[in-house]
Amino acid sequence: MPKSKDLSPEQTQDADALGSYHFSEQVGHLLRRAYQHHVAIFQQHISDSQLTAAQFVTMCAIQEHGTCSLSDIVKTTAIDQATIRGIIERLKLRELIVLSHDAADRRKVLVTLSDAGTSLVKSTVPHAADISEATFGKLNPAERVAIMFLLRKMID
């Protein structure tokens, strides 16, 4: 590594800026780490080892809406279109959802939970509170309210 006296003023400024930047202290990194922690907790608390947190959220959205389109699921879950397509395909392969076409617009794909999908959601939902509790970890009640408020404020 060259000494600072060997660097141009611009290179010195760049090195100083990089020296004060620690990715591990950035909000995006911390949010990703918190989400990874939550996903690990989710996997520990559910009985279906093949079900991912994103698949579960997708199935909950479908249950909430009844029969719905892919764009309805994207809006509800905030999961991008490309990812939802993969999730839908995996859920379809497991026969947890049923796909059909809208009678008015045959290009529009409609998604409904199958009986097996409904059963899986019903058996998993009771664990959701335990998963949230474990994700909050050592946060006290005031911190829990604060983090929920701040997360909602960040996404609005």
Mean pLDDT of 40-53: 93
H, E, C per residue of the chain: CCCHHHCCHHHHHHHHHHHHCCHHHCHHHHHHHHHHHHHHHHHHHCCCCCCCHHHHHHHHHHHHHCCEEHHHHHHHHCCCHHHHHHHHHHHHHCCCEEEEECCCCCCCEEEEECHHHHHHHHHHHHHHHHHHHHHHCCCCHHHHHHHHHHHHHHHC
Provide, rounded to the nearest whole percent, the portion of the chain with pLDDT above 70. Answer: 89
Q: Give the domain ranges of the chain.
A: 51-156
pLDDT higher than threshold 60 for residue 1: no
56-111 pLDDT, tens digit per residue, is 999 999 999 999 999 999 999 999 999 999 999 999 999 999 999 988 888 889 99
| Class of CATH domain 51-156 | mainly alpha
